[in-house]
A = this chain, B = another copy of it.
Amino acid sequence: MVTLAIDMMGGDDAPGIVLEAVEKALNDFPDLHIILFGDEKQCNIKHSRLEFRHCSEEIEMTDEPVRAIKRKKDSSMVKAAQAVKDGEASGCVSAGNTGALMSAGLFIVGRIKGVARPALVVTLPTVSGKGFTFLDVGANSDAKPEHLLQYAQLGNIYAEKIRGIGAPKVALLNIGTEPKKGNSLTKETYQLMSADTSFHFSGNVEAKTLMEDAADVVVTDGFTGNMVLKNLEGTAKSIGKMFKSTLLGSVKNKLAALILKKDLSEVMKKMDYAEYGGSVLLGLDGIVVKAHGSSNARAFYSAIRQAKIAGEERIVEIMRETVGEA
């Protein structure tokens, strides 16, 4: 049995999508137990493996993260993180304020001893549909080479345990594939990663091949990672917009669009982040999953499933024993 703490109040379409996802997850997974935190007046579901806890506050998207965590002690997000800290739940899931959830992770759940900087990890789509694990996408903007080495170790465990990839290829994001390319950060990190035998280092990868299954795990600093993540999303969206306006540009194009509709929606599904679950703050002494703020029920369900697998696979315990000690 895995127990998860769920924040009912976070996200653009909460609590509706959260309740729908929680109900589906409980029905699909007979070994899942959920503690749900939120406003009791808005909770309209019941289940034998669902425990509800009322919270009088909620953290808004506009709240200043650290202050919100410190002041709103009876918010659904703080209470969910506290349940992880207290060992009641192995992980928590929220679609709320990203900064606040990261703060809750750092200040309430806490770091694994020996992990210098937790990293935010996401799984991004590739053309083949396989996807790749990418970190850090924004937890730590000014990273040092030793932080990036730990990201590689954490990402390696994540890809193996959560995504089921045997001996993942772990690469360093850089502006050239040759070992001597890059800025001082990537040049030094290359040396550290080459010397580490706890994972399979496959060298540098360039941003232009990320969607072409260049590696299973790609490591970078939080500034560059956030930049590339937003650039990927934005470029895909802008190109999609251009195609869409072409498809709707004339009567004959609309006809062609009708013919292509089903196959194009398959392509769009491959590009859909919802399929790949939420982002996870790795290096904490518990599982903290952030579902996208604009999550629909399916995306939130993916995030719950992800947290459940992380609990079953005991990734926090593994990270504590291997990365924490290192």
Chain A residues engaging chain B, CB cutoff 8 angstroms: 126-127, 138, 141-142, 173, 175, 182-184, 186, 206-212, 221-224, 226-228, 230-243, 246-247, 249-250, 252-253, 255-257, 259-260, 263-264, 266-267, 270-271
Q: Are B234 and A211 in contact (CB under 8 A)?
A: yes
How many angstroms between the C-alpha atoms of A227 and B181 in the bound complex? 12
Contacts of A175 in B (CB 8 A): 138, 141, 223, 226-227, 230
Nearest B residue to A241 via CB reads B127
How many angstroms between the C-alpha atoms of A143 and B261 in the bound complex? 47
Our pick among B222, B231, B271 for the contact of A231 (Cβ within 8 Å) is: B231
Q: Are B228 and A246 in contact (CB under 8 A)?
A: no
Contacts of A271 in B (CB 8 A): 239, 242
Q: Are B231 and A210 in contact (CB under 8 A)?
A: yes
Nearest B residue to A261 via CB reads B256
- Nearest-Cβ distance from residue A138 to partner chain B, whole angstroms: 7
Q: Check A232/B235 contact, CB under 8 A, given A223-B182, A252-B259.
A: yes
Contacts of A267 in B (CB 8 A): 242-243, 246
Contacts of A211 in B (CB 8 A): 234-235, 238-239
Our pick among B230, B239, B257, B260 for the contact of A208 (Cβ within 8 Å) is: B230
Pairs A–B under 8 Å by Cβ, sample size 14: A127-B242, A141-B175, A142-B183, A173-B227, A207-B230, A207-B231, A210-B235, A211-B238, A211-B239, A227-B228, A242-B267, A242-B270, A246-B260, A255-B259
- Nearest-Cβ distance from residue A227 to partner chain B, whole angstroms: 5
How many angstroms between the C-alpha atoms of A221 and B173 in the bound complex? 16
3 tightest A-B CB contacts, nearest first: A208-B234, A207-B231, A256-B256
How many angstroms between the C-alpha atoms of A240 and B138 in the bound complex? 28
- Nearest-Cβ distance from residue A261 to partner chain B, whole angstroms: 10
Contacts of A184 in B (CB 8 A): 141-142
Contacts of A256 in B (CB 8 A): 255-257, 259-260
Q: Check A243/B241 contact, CB under 8 A, given A175-B230, A223-B175, A231-B231.
A: no
Contacts of A270 in B (CB 8 A): 242
How many angstroms between the C-alpha atoms of A226 and B228 in the bound complex? 11
Nearest B residue to A223 via CB reads B183
Of the listed residues A142, A206, A234, the one surrounded by the most CB atoms of chain B closer than 10 A to its CB is A234
Q: Are A141 and B182 in contact (CB under 8 A)?
A: yes
Of the listed residues A142, A207, A224, A235, the one surrounded by the most CB atoms of chain B closer than 10 A to its CB is A235
Q: Are A231 and B228 in contact (CB under 8 A)?
A: yes
Q: Are B207 and A234 in contact (CB under 8 A)?
A: yes
Q: Are B243 and A243 in contact (CB under 8 A)?
A: yes
Nearest B residue to A138 via CB reads B175
Nearest B residue to A249 via CB reads B263
Contacts of A239 in B (CB 8 A): 211, 235-236, 239-240, 271
- Nearest-Cβ distance from residue A217 to partner chain B, whole angstroms: 18
Contacts of A255 in B (CB 8 A): 256, 259
Q: Check A253/B263 contact, CB under 8 A, given A208-B231, A243-B243.
A: yes
Q: Are A127 and B243 in contact (CB under 8 A)?
A: no
